[in-house]
Amino acid sequence: MELNAAFAARSYGAARPITAPDPLGSTDGGAQTAAGRFAETFAQTLARAETTAGDVMAGNGDPHALVAALSEAQLAVETTVAVRDRVVEAYLEILRMPV
């Protein structure tokens, strides 16, 4: 097998388009869009809970819907905190790796 600088440069050049970031943003369901969808859903859940709470305080909403919306918001916050804790834990584990 030939291992020289020209071979390495050709291999790197062939692999470069695969590893290059997409400047226009990826729409194929990658990790960035999944995180974006997660954040958007989280924000919508909290907004829905706030709207329902406002309706109930104004006397126009159902108290049972308020309890359901607040439970959903609490679950979303707990899930987000758990994901954040896992990410921080993984980051700290990477920092502890010997170089």
- Sequence-distant (6+) residues with CB within 8 A of 80 are 42
Using CA atoms, how far apart are residues 68 and 59, in angstroms rounded to an integer? Answer: 17
**Cα–chain-centroid distance for residue 34?**
6
User: What's residue 39's pLDDT?
Assistant: 87
pLDDT digits (tens, 9 = 90+) for 20-45: 665 555 555 555 688 888 889 999 99
Q: Is the whole model's pTM more than 0.85, yes or no?
A: no
pLDDT in tens, the chain (99 residues): 556 777 766 766 666 565 566 555 555 555 568 888 888 999 999 999 999 999 999 998 888 999 999 999 999 999 999 999 999 999 999 999 987
User: What's residue 84's pLDDT?
Assistant: 93
Domain edges within the chain: 30-96
Using CA atoms, how far apart are residues 75 and 87, in angstroms rounded to an integer? Answer: 18
> What count of residues does the chain have?
99
- Closest of 71, 52, 74 to residue 63, by C-alpha: 52
Alpha helices, H only, 1-99: 5-19, 31-57, 63-96
